[in-house]
Structure 1
Amino acid sequence: MKKRKALALLSGGLDSTLAVKMMLEMGIEVEALNFTSPFCTCTGKNAGCKSEAVRVAQEFDIPIKVVHKGLDYLEIVRNPRHGYGKGINPCVDCRIYLLAKAREYMSECGADFVITGEVLGQRPMSQRRDTLRVIERESGLEGLLLRPLSARHFEPTIPEREGWVDREKLLAIKGRSRKDQFHLAEELDVKNYPCPAGGCLLTETSFVPKVKDVFDHSDELNLRDFRMLKIGRHFRIGERTKAIIGRDENDNRLLEAAMQPGEAAITWLDGNTPLGVVMGIQDEACLELAMRLLLRYTKAESGAECRLKVRCNGTETVRNVINDITEEAVVRYRID
């Protein structure tokens, strides 16, 4: 019998790792597909979803392709056909997007079917029985999408009916408890998996205003604007102008590294200071407002005239600004 191949959506988390391991134990060839997003909560140097997925792929000795969600994904976030969850998270549309990309890649990599680590009832929006059927249908994977951890809750797929995989070895895990997965990890000798934490910033209600602000004030969408949302405090100071002020030294370093030509960096010269970056259209009024906002996060004396350094396109200037912004004004301009 011809050896069959599965294309796995591999996040690097426990569920998708177990799904891959189960297929390998059945003698199925596996290739992994990992998607990165500007909204992933993974943080830390050399850490995050991508590196976890790559680590798992290396450990299991399977090939992996990393795909970056692009502008087409941002359009889905802006106008999801199936709506949002509690935040601005288009979970159903996102799964359809990922699986449709997987379907397109199947012929390229020679896969016979697709597997995921989805568990029935684990996620309130995208893993209900009805939405799982919608996702399967609209991604074009009807009959070819196998969910090994919950497969016995569903009708047999083509891989099961054709005998490519043994349905008796598939599982019937259901719900939000992770107890069954932890037990299975012990059975399959799966170790060093990440804790079930993190996820997507789009599910966090506090993140919603930042995303909506970019949609509302952008002539053209770009991924960089959304990646920047994870750094610092954000202020809308003009229709096409934003100021970002670092919260700590790590933010300062990230802002410095992310600056682009035409953007201005501002710092207070007479004491410890966060870094402020002014993005977009700059005029004198916006630049002065950004400097006053920055002083709010220093130890500059209220009402004092302060010296600030402004760097832009390789030139530096020093400006004197009064530290007089009110808390009401800070709240008015801050995006949260």
Structure 2
Amino acid sequence: MKVEQRRALALYSGGLDSLLAMKLVKDQGVEVIALNFVSHFFGGENENAQRLCDQIGVKLEYVDFKKEHMEVVKDPANGRGKNMNPCLDCHALMMSYTADYLMKRYEADFLISGEVLNQRPMSQRKDALERVQELSKMDDLIVRPMSAKLLPHTKPIREGWLDIEQLENISGRSRHRQMEMAKAWGIENYPKPAGGCRLTEPNYSRRLKQLEADGMLHHEHSDLFELIRHSRFLRLDEKKYIFMARNQQEEEAVESYADMATFMVEGTSETPGPAILAYGEMTEEDLEIAKQLYSRYSKAKGKVEATMVINKEKVVYPAFDVEELTTKMKAYTMD
């Protein structure tokens, strides 16, 4: 009698742990579909993630849950980590979203997660994994292949859909076993274990907290979440910001958000300088600051007149006291 092939959905961050977890399950004859959840702070189409999924023979799907995730970021029931990361609630949300919508859509039998016991202090302790499972609505259908031998056996293992002996018993922060597995399977050019979530990054989190303090931590202000990532950030006042590019890549990023600008300052061939985007209800004094910033960080260095374009109109700004600008900047948050 032909045995029914099981199908599993996998939470796939793009990292090595989740990739190896999928490989362990796929090698037992289970069809695996990788789900990359896309929020404002992680996930999204990635050529390397697609290449790695292709290499182990699993289909990659993207799941947009930006609005739902935003609510968790704003008010996480289980708190945040060291930065802005609501890891417990985030993991539970991905799993409950899968339970509510995706299990039926893909006619899947169970869910795979690449979490490793005790690898992360907030979200991967045993009690935290149990808490996530409790919140997830997935009941008894979550398998964590990388640490399965150290965790209670869930239905897919108890029912014989998976052989526990072919799963792993990894615990802790060391990556030696994962690297051995990757080498054995010929998996190369996988991402370093940086997490991939901007909410865990201290510098980004400090900027995001500034937006949160101003009441801007909402889905409709998501462009600001990108701008604080791709530029130097200056807060003039509540809900009044200047974003200034520091290199060519940031120049392109800042200019791509020109439609939301109160005014844009752009460079000229006479005085090359950084793109500057102003957001919010700006005053003439604020515009003056933007002109001085452009001059200071342009070829002119504030020492000679600088030619710039403001909202498509060419403007010539004279030399000025750069030290005075430096003193003035101490009143603002800039990094």
Same fold flag (TM > 0.5): yes
Q: Does the C-alpha gap of structure 1 residues 60 and 302 become closer, same or farther in structure 2, counting only changes over 3 Å?
A: closer
**Is residue 2:58 matched to residue 1:59?**
no
Distance 1:10 1:268, change over 3 A: closer
Contact 1:237 1:289 in 2 (8 A): no
| Kept after mapping to 1: 8 A contact 2:273/2:298 | yes
The SS at the match of 2:228 is: helix
How far the C-alpha of 1:259 sits from its partner, in A, is: 1.9
Q: Is the CA contact (8 Å cut-off) linking 2:182 and 2:188 kept in structure 1? A: yes
Cα distance in 2 for residues equivalent to 1:131 and 1:298 = 50
Deviation at 1:268, TM superposition (A): 5.4
Higher mean C-alpha deviation, range 295-304 or range 266-275: 295-304
Q: Is 1:14 aligned to 2:16, yes or no? A: yes
Task: Identify the range of structure 1 (209-218 vs 152-161) with the bigger mean alpha-carbon deviation.
Answer: 209-218
The residue correspondences of 1:8-157 to structure 2 (distance < 5 A) are 8-40=10-42, 50-104=46-100, 105-157=102-154
Q: What percentage of aligned pairs have identical amino acids?
A: 35
2:242 match: secondary structure: strand
Q: Secondary structure at the match of 2:83?
A: coil
- 1:282 matched to 2:278? The reply is no
The answer to whether the Cα contact below 8 Å between 1:237 and 1:290 also exists between their aligned partners in 2 is: no
Structure 2 Cα separation of the partners of residues 49 and 14 of structure 1: 17
Deviates more, 1:204-213 or 1:320-329: 320-329
1:139 offset after TM fit, Å?
0.8
Question: Relative to structure 2, which stretch is displaced further, 274-283 or 214-223?
Answer: 214-223
**Whole-Å separation in 2 of the counterparts to 1:85 and 1:101:** 22
Task: Assess if the C-alpha contact under 8 Å between 2:148 and 2:169 holds in 1.
Answer: yes
The Cα offsets for residues 73-106 of structure 1, whole Å up to 9 and x where unpaired, read as: 1221122111111111111111111111222211
Cα deviation, residue 306, structure 1:
4.1
Partner of 1:292: 292
CA distance in 2, matches of 1:75, 1:31: 26
Quote the RMSD (CA, aligned, Å): 2.3
User: 1:198: how far off?
Assistant: 5.4
Structure 1 letter corresponding to 2:5? K
Residue in 2 that maps onto 1:45: none
User: Is this contact kept in 1: 2:265–2:310, CA < 8 A?
Assistant: yes
> TM-score, normalised to structure 2's length?
0.89
Stretches of structure 1 that go unaligned for 5 or more consecutive residues are: 43-47
1:302–1:262 Cα change, 3 Å: closer
* 1:292-331 alignment runs, 5 A limit: 292-300=292-300, 302=302, 306-311=306-311, 315-318=312-315, 320=317, 323-324=320-321, 325-331=324-330
CA distance in 2, matches of 1:297, 1:259: 20
Q: Map 1:132-211 to 2 at 5 A.
A: 132-197=129-194, 199-211=196-208
Q: Which of 215, 221, 226 is residue 212 of structure 2 equivalent to?
A: 215
Give the 3-state SS of the residue equivalent to 1:308 in structure 2: strand
Equivalent residues in 2 for 1:245-264, closer than 5 Å: 245-260=244-259, 262-264=261-263
The code of the aligned residue for 1:182 comes to M
Q: Say how many residue pairs are matched.
A: 327
Separation (CA, whole Å) in 2 of partners of 1:2 and 1:26: 13
Q: Secondary structure at the match of 2:8?
A: strand
- SS of the equivalent of 2:265 reads strand
Task: Report the more deviating stretch, 53-62 or 221-230.
Answer: 53-62
* 5+ residue gaps, structure 2: none
